Amino acid sequence: MLTLREWNQAAEGTPAAARYRAAVILVHGMATTGAWQKDLFPCLQDASIRAEAVDYGKIWFRVLTMRHKVAEKIQIAYEELRQFDASPSIIAHSYGTLGFARALEYWPSLQFRYAILAGCVLPRGYDWPAMIEEDRIRALLHEVAMKDWIAKLAALAGILRMLPCGSAGRDGFTCVPHSHIFEKRYRGAEHGSVFHREHYRKVWIPFLLSGTA
């Protein structure tokens, strides 16, 4: 099995537009280096989807100040992937969802094809319909883990105004139902329950290619 770097280098001999069916940015959470990103890569490879992993390390002591740095890394990855897909998609987990929201806020030119959020710690009232109306994203897949205690804790951080957080990953967004927002609820799921290859192949890959779930 080729590594991410080896696979990307092996594809350099063909025109960028012809190599891949889509492109996606992968953004991990704050207390991990994103093992799921590496586990997801072979599934993306099989589907001819170009991937760029945003890695910002474990940030236990920088959680209040690191959000903009994560957003900058997303913006850099976005520009890198535009040679393969004019509108890359994104998969963000936990603190990575805060970085994604920050990127949308700071760079109005960013237009993502599709977005997948897992373990989301954004407020329930986040205005995704406006983002869709402004063509910032075309469709959103939101994975709701109904036993996600981290999302519940994030809501407390939001109440204390430490970060613009909320419990969307546990309780869902208030804008649902919406024709371009697909929210899947898992009763027994926790913060990282969706991270396995069967789920990637059955749910995430089809969404990245079609925008429907």
This prediction has a pTM of: 0.90
- In the chain, what are the domain boundaries? 4-210
Q: How many helices (H) and strands (E) does the chain have?
A: 10, 6
Mean pLDDT, rounded, of the chain: 91
Residue 11, helix vs strand vs coil: helix
CATH code, residues 4-210: 3.40.50.1820
Which contiguous run of DSSP H or E holds residue 24? strand 22-27
Is the pLDDT score of 17 beyond 80? Answer: no
Express as a percent the part of the chain with pLDDT over 90. Answer: 77
Cβ(144)–Cβ(170) below 8 Å = yes
Segment 156-160 mean pLDDT: 81
Is the pLDDT score of 65 beyond 90? Answer: no
As a whole number of Å, the end-to-end CA separation of the chain is: 29
**Paired strand residues for 90:** 25, 115
Write down the pLDDT at residue 159.
77
